Structure 1
Amino acid sequence: MVTNIENQNSAGVHPLKFALWLIIISILMMFGAFTSAYIVRREEGNWLEFDLPQMFIINTAVIILSSITMQWAYFAAKKNNLSMVKIMLVLTMVLGIVFLYGQLSAWGDLVQNNVYFGGVDSNPAGSFLYVLTGVHGFHLITGLIFLAILLIASFKYKVHSKKMVRIQLCTTYWHFLGGLWLYLYFFLLVNH
């Protein structure tokens, strides 16, 4: 028997939602390990002190805005406002791309200030910063891919009040990415 993607299993949890939460927990564990290693390595000494790129402040505002537009898309889907769903998904996607561009710009600022990743002339402080922001950026790219798939589905009228699983999953993941960035940014502010 084939089941609809919207159905739940007998335990009451949709399998895709369960899988997403496993992914989120795995990502949290990975970033927990990264930030723990950051603290341990920093305490060993030989740590380069430098200012965080100003672009991180702008990116923080951008990712918060993108989380708001994603939530608006979700609310619009619940109300069957399909044109608003599309507009908010496009805005979320644009803001996600702006965030990634901002990260690349921040990396450019780091290079101009002689903060590099790896190599003989580098310091672990710079490498950790590149890893933390780079791995987050990778996950944001995966979020943009899921967002693009959701946007295509919305143009095929497959995102509405009776078909909410896709947008629920995407909204949850997108909010997670925003929350993860806030954690990383404040972690770096406090420990940098």
Structure 2
Amino acid sequence: MAQVHQNTDRLNLAPKKFNMWIFLFTSFMLFMAFTSGFIVYAGGSKSHQLNLQLPRIFLYNTLVIVASSLTLFMASRAAKRLQFEKQRLFLWATIGLGVAFFVLQVFAWNELINMHAYLINPNASISFVYIMTGVHLLHILAGLVLLSISLRKSYRSTPQVMNIFSMDMSSIFWHFVDIVWIYLYVFLLLNQH
């Protein structure tokens, strides 16, 4: 373990992890701004409230993203135990679940459109749904890029410290995206009328 810590210091990885935390804090503040804006707008008038039932696909997305966090946890644990085949298997599963989340989100938007709930809408509460889930989907895409980098490093003869670091960065980001989705889903669920 001392060797890994020494290599981490030599490779100057701590500032990279700090930058990740700053980015996540900034993203957190962005989502808080969106939900605060929603609350202020929806609280202004009964006609401003979210007058629709969320598509059931949002629930499926929640289950998919929670499952993806579990598979990523398993991949990270396998990497730390030097079980690279398991790491790759669970990373592939996580990426597959991330892609499934993306596809399901597109279907959810299609379902909203079928309900005549459009992005450009006189009721901005509906627009907030698209904006919040759209920005979250951009974070999913970024997470898929990070996961793909971790997967690529697991196939190469990357030094173990870099493999673990890549897994840590991917895990921090992906679990953040997971928590944000659960927050958004519960928030929207509680605010639908």
Aligned-residue sequence identity (percent) comes to 34
Q: Which residue of 1 aligns with 2:139?
A: 139
Q: Find the aligned partners of 2:136 and 2:174 in 1 and give their Cα distance.
A: 12
Q: Which residue of 2 aligns with 1:88?
A: 90
Q: Find the aligned partners of 1:13 and 1:155 in 2 and give their Cα distance.
A: 21
Check conservation: 1:80, 1:161, Cα contact below 8 A.
Answer: no
Structure 1's 155 and 82: CA in aligned 2 closer, same or farther, altered over 3 A?
same
Q: Find the aligned partners of 2:58 and 2:163 in 1 and give their Cα distance.
A: 36
Q: Normalised by the size of structure 1, how large is the TM-score?
A: 0.90
Q: Which residue of 1 aligns with 2:31?
A: 31
Q: Find the aligned partners of 1:140 and 1:72 in 2 and give their Cα distance.
A: 19
> How much has 1:191 moved relative to structure 2?
1.6
Q: Normalised by the size of structure 2, how large is the TM-score?
A: 0.90
Q: Find the aligned partners of 2:157 and 2:87 in 1 and give their Cα distance.
A: 10
Secondary structure at the counterpart of residue 51 of structure 2: coil
Q: Find the aligned partners of 1:110 and 1:165 in 2 and give their Cα distance.
A: 39
Q: Which structure 2 residue ranges, 5 or more long, are not aligned? A: none
Check conservation: 1:77, 1:161, Cα contact below 8 A.
Answer: no
Check conservation: 1:116, 1:122, Cα contact below 8 A.
Answer: no
Q: Which residue of 2 aligns with 1:150?
A: 150
Q: What is the root-mean-square deviation in Å for CA atoms of aligned residues?
A: 2.1
Q: Which structure 1 residue ranges, 5 or more long, are not aligned? A: none
Structure 1's 6 and 65: CA in aligned 2 closer, same or farther, altered over 3 A?
farther
Q: Does 1:61 align with 2:63?
A: yes
Structure 1's 162 and 42: CA in aligned 2 closer, same or farther, altered over 3 A?
closer
Q: Find the aligned partners of 1:162 and 1:131 in 2 and give their Cα distance.
A: 35
Structure 1's 139 and 76: CA in aligned 2 closer, same or farther, altered over 3 A?
same
Check conservation: 1:82, 1:157, Cα contact below 8 A.
Answer: no
> How much has 1:188 moved relative to structure 2?
0.6
Q: Which has the higher helix share?
A: 2
Check conservation: 2:153, 2:163, Cα contact below 8 A.
Answer: no
Q: Does 1:178 align with 2:167?
A: no
Figure out how many residues of one structure are paired with residues of the other and give that number: 185
Secondary structure at the counterpart of residue 8 of structure 1: helix
Q: Find the aligned partners of 1:53 and 1:6 in 2 and give their Cα distance.
A: 48
> How much has 1:5 moved relative to structure 2?
10
> How much has 1:67 moved relative to structure 2?
0.1
> How much has 1:8 moved relative to structure 2?
3.2
Secondary structure at the counterpart of residue 8 of structure 2: coil
